Amino acid sequence: MSEARTERWRLAVLRVRLDLAGSSPVAAVELVGDPANDARTYWRAEFDYGRFGLAEGSEPPTALEVPRDLVEAVRDRLIADFPADTALWLRLIPPYGNLGGVPWERALIPAIGRPLVRVPDRLPPGSDPGRVWTVAVAVSVTPNAAWVAGYLSSFISALRTSVTGEVDVHVFTDRGAEQALRALLHESPNETRVHLHDPGDAALLDRSGPRRRPVGADSRPAPGPLLWGDWITAGLDGRAVRALHIVADGAFEGSRPVLSVNPDPAQPSGRSERAYVTADRVRRLADRVGASVLSFGSPPENPYDTATRIMTDHIGLRRAGPTFYSALPLDPAGYTLAQAHAFIAGAPGAVPIPRDPSLFAYLQPEFVRGALRNPWPDPDLPGQSWLSGRAPIGDSATSGEILPSALGVAGGEEITARYATAESVPMWVAASTRYIENQVASLVRTAGVPGETPAAKQAYDRGVGQAIAELRALVDRRMRES
């Protein structure tokens, strides 16, 4: 274990771009890196879209795979051209269709024997203060799924043994699973910081606010996916969490990936009666409860694991905090996911970078710098754009004036300092911080490109940046007064 804790990695980047210029789409894939401070492309090839199991048009994908010759070529080039302490970073360059749902990690990690992490858009890292690692876990699957209670119990135990310091877990799940887990926890008296929330409480919520209806009231909220969000938010009672983990079947609404949940957690239903949850709704829930880390669990017998993977990828590319996908059939005890949480929760470099075929991770450079031999390259510096595939923006007026100040605004240094040793952060503080981070992320993604950005757009960006700074100052002032 001590050897794993001291591992440091060099960088290689597998860049994937969807090329639509020809008669049929192809994925242009290249292996790029600078092991000898000489950034260049070491291998490049094109693969028909269909070889990944993807089809043109709106038909939702089902069984996806990585072409075998792609895996072999990447493995051979890494062995031939890169030191053994080189990790691989996957950069999917938007727009890339459904290539984010391809099981890259499942195919490549066993072949290369090294970490593989996805590189998101350039975003500020989310602030994440607090002494206790607080996790909200929401599970909604088919009724009487026998694995749920055992999975939750083992995942909670894995969090406790993996994460340094105190761990506090709030569990929200359907009635049958809640009863089975309650029985397991009753047999484990050490699980004192597990809060198992009663599904019946969801039906008592006043949908106009976080208040509860009197027991026995005639009116009930309409069942649906919003009921889960209201239940989770009310159950946390104004305290933010640092991580949100959601386990649910995937589905496609047309071509859009969604999660399939039980409309009312107190009354489990079959798959034909499920309600759909969109990626935007999940992201808003994570922001609402203040979660920096968002993770998705794909359950056993998930009829559309691909939908879960695509949704996780779409969200992870754009979030300011870490985003994980976990395949429960490959990690039935939740140990690998718990190690990923420990990687984020611990001191930089204290826990190895997650490396398992069951998991994929979107991590900002700030989260991995403790595990790197060399500083993370800045894609805006000359000769470093190979990392992200974005056009360099270092010379534009917009980037020169807006981006550094915007990134600083999103940092939330005062919040981090104020609540560094607190058991929890007030939900309104964390939610406000997530909102500001999202606004900064949108500003960063639309930053100007030299010679292309009109003066009016640059002026607009400066105005948005100033508004974000004023909002940050308002939140800081209210926090000091509270």
Q: Which pLDDT tens digit goes with each residue over 82-93?
A: 999 999 999 999
- Rounded to whole angstroms, how far apart are CA atoms 153 and 326? 16
CA distances from 38 to 80, 206, 225, 385 (A): 16, 61, 51, 13
- Rounded to whole angstroms, how far apart are CA atoms 412 and 434? 10
pLDDT at 233: 94
237: left (phi over 0), alpha (psi -120 to 50) or beta: left
Residue 157 φ/ψ, nearest 5 degrees: -65, -40
pLDDT at 191: 55
- Rounded to whole angstroms, how far apart are CA atoms 356 and 120? 19
Closest CA to 104 of 94, 115, 95: 115
pLDDT tens-digit map of 19-56 = 988 888 999 999 998 766 667 899 999 999 999 999 87
Nearest-5° angle of CA 446, CA 366, CA 102?
70
Q: Tell me the pTM.
A: 0.87
Q: Which residue has the higher pLDDT, 298 or 476?
A: 298
Q: Alpha-carbon Rg of the chain, whole angstroms?
A: 22
Contact assessment for residue 381 and residue 394, using Cβ atoms and an 8 Å cutoff? yes
Number of H helices, E strands in the chain: 14, 14
Q: What is the mean pLDDT of residues 245-256?
A: 94
In DSSP notation, 146-205 reads THHHHHHHHHHHHHHHHSSS-EEEEEEE-HHHHHHHHHHHHT-TT-TTEEE--GGGGGGB
pLDDT at 212: 41
pLDDT at 123: 67
pLDDT tens-digit map of 91-132 = 999 889 999 999 999 999 999 999 999 988 766 666 677 789
Residue 11 φ/ψ, nearest 5 degrees: -110, 140
Confidence of residue 17 (pLDDT cuts 50, 70, 90): very high
Q: Is 310 helix (H, G, I), strand (E, B) or coil?
A: helix
| Mean of the per-residue pLDDT values of the chain | 82
- Spatial neighbors of 446 by CB under 8 A, at least 6 apart, are 461
Residue 199 has pLDDT above 80, yes or no: yes
Tokens 């099981």 belong to 103
Question: Looking at this protein, which amino acid is placed at residue 332?
Answer: P
pLDDT at 390: 47
Q: What is the mean pLDDT of residues 437-450?
A: 69
CA distances from 205 to 209, 232, 263 (A): 8, 11, 14
- Rounded to whole angstroms, how far apart are CA atoms 183 and 186? 5
